[in-house]
Amino acid sequence: MAISEWIQALQDVAWPGFLQPHVEVLLLWITWAVDYIDLDYLEYLLWLLLPFFILFIFPIFLVLFIYGCVIFVHIYGHRHQIREAYHTSYWEGARVAIASFWDGVGNVWHGYELKGIENVPDEGSALFIYYHGCLPLDVYYLISKLVIHKNRSLHCVGDKFIFKIPGWRPLCKLFSITAGTVEECTEELKEGNLLCIAPGGVREALFSDPNVYDILWGKRLGFAKVIIGSKTPVIPMFTENCRESFRTPEWGRSFFRWIYEKTKIPLCPIYGGFPVKMITHLGKPIYFDFDTVTPEEVRKTVKREIRSMIKEHQRLPGSVWQGIAQRWSAPSKKKTDEPEQAELLQRNGAGTTSPTSDSEDVVVLRRERSGIDDDDAEIDELGGI
């Protein structure tokens, strides 16, 4: 039998000492499967059920092909912009082509909408400060909209770990994603660019509670120093249902956060891909008296504005099913008062601070439960996508 000959050939190989025990165990398992599993019966079941597999799988592939055509048509609708961009620069052409693809994905899968694009200047700098969803799909969609409709590139501050992922560096360079310092970001804004920062970064992405959309900025002041140093207006940003498309499981959240706080390694599992409705809201630009304002006052003002946008636009507690239903019907806003939100926070192991108050830390995990201390080293950190 071919399988027996193959097993014998593997046994005859001179494996390294550290691999030999593992190979022997693997071969024992394979031998057991060959001896005790009726392969002929499995082949019979395969042929018996093949029509049913074809019956159910083929329609799925057909739908995927149709959606692929929809995305292609969407990209083709921007062919003139793509052609003009390639005449300007090959890299600019690639940027517009990729932006058209993501714009199509957003329209098809999330019914994506952008409200408040009139608040984005046609020229000059602006700093977008946004609440970080589990995955920053809304940022990808926003970048695409600005490239296509404003002909402007949105520079982004990314968490340091994304630059260590193999193959991502060229894409980050193409779309101006950097792990910039306060000084570098200040210089980018002084040059007249658009820049976006999520002060919560990976911590907010992985560990914010979808029931209350709590803001987890900690002691970070880096973005506030960028605002003051560059004298740039701030555009607050929030995307409805940004925590419903992808989520992190509730079980083990405290443990995974403890690992992240100690090692800065994002080892929390993610699940989802749900086709919820996503609407990005861009607020009116916020201006400060840059000569007298302090970083703490800037952080407090911007956090209050984003919290207000969450309270206005997001149905709480968050729900995947309601997010999907919103694709076909207007959302039925449920007024969630402060006591109810505080109760949700307590249930999930968070502090007693009201999520709609103006305190510096909206939600802080109980130290006695998590063993997490405030990190003074984070004061100058910016966060990122």
Residue of 78, 132, 155, 281 marked catalytic: 132
128 neighbors 154 (Cβ within 8 angstroms): yes
228 token code pair: 């003051």
Amino acid at 307: R
HSE value, Cβ hemisphere, 13 Å, CA-based, for 257: 26
CA-CA distance, 223 to 5, in Å (whole number)? 65
Q: How many Å separate Cα 260 from the centre of its chain?
A: 17
Cβ–Cβ < 8 Å for 222, 273: no
Question: CA-CA distances (angstroms) from residue 44 to 41, 222, 372?
Answer: 5, 65, 57
Clarify whether 132 is annotated catalytic: yes
d(CA 107, CA 71): 9
| Token digits of residue 168 | 């991502």
Give Cα separations from 11 to 1, 8, 22, 136 (angstroms). Answer: 16, 5, 12, 49
Dist CA 328 CA 267 (whole Å): 35
Active-site amino acid positions? 132
